[in-house]
Amino acid sequence: MKFLVRLTTMLPPEMNDERRNALLAAEAERGRELVTDGTIEQLWRLPGRLANVGVWSVPDADALHVALTSLPLWRWMDVQVEALANHPLTSTPTPLVTDAQRDHGRTD
């Protein structure tokens, strides 16, 4: 299953640099692991924000929960999750229910 995950981190501005950099380093390390094991397929920064949007590939929502709550910065994060379905243009097309089928209320 693929999810579009938007992570916005709200570290207190007054947090001392040492603790802040340690957390950011731990986050980067954990992130690298999740990229390496394929959990995080794609990741982009939202320019100007301590936030990113990425495509996470996991067996199911339970696994997604475990992966996300493993992030060192999780406690400071707002997490938005959207399930993604395959699009016929970029993957073996899932049969789009044609309008005809829908009008008869059947998809067989």
Shortest Cβ 80–a second copy spacing (Å) = 8
Shortest Cβ 47–a second copy spacing (Å) = 4
Q: Which of residues 18-77 bind a second copy (CB under 8 A)?
A: 20-21, 26-33, 35, 40, 42-49, 52-55, 60-62, 64-72, 74-76
In whole angstroms, give the CA distance from residue 27 to residue 21. 10
The values of phi and psi at residue 20, to 5°, are -60, -50
Q: Does 83 bind a second copy (CB under 8 A)?
A: yes
For 36, half-sphere exposure in the C-beta direction (CA atoms, 13 angstrom radius) is: 6
Tell me how many residues contact a second copy (CB under 8 A): 73
In whole angstroms, give the CA distance from residue 4 to residue 8. 13
Q: Does 11 bind a second copy (CB under 8 A)?
A: yes
Note whether 66 and 19 are within 8 A (CB): no
Q: Does 8 bind a second copy (CB under 8 A)?
A: no
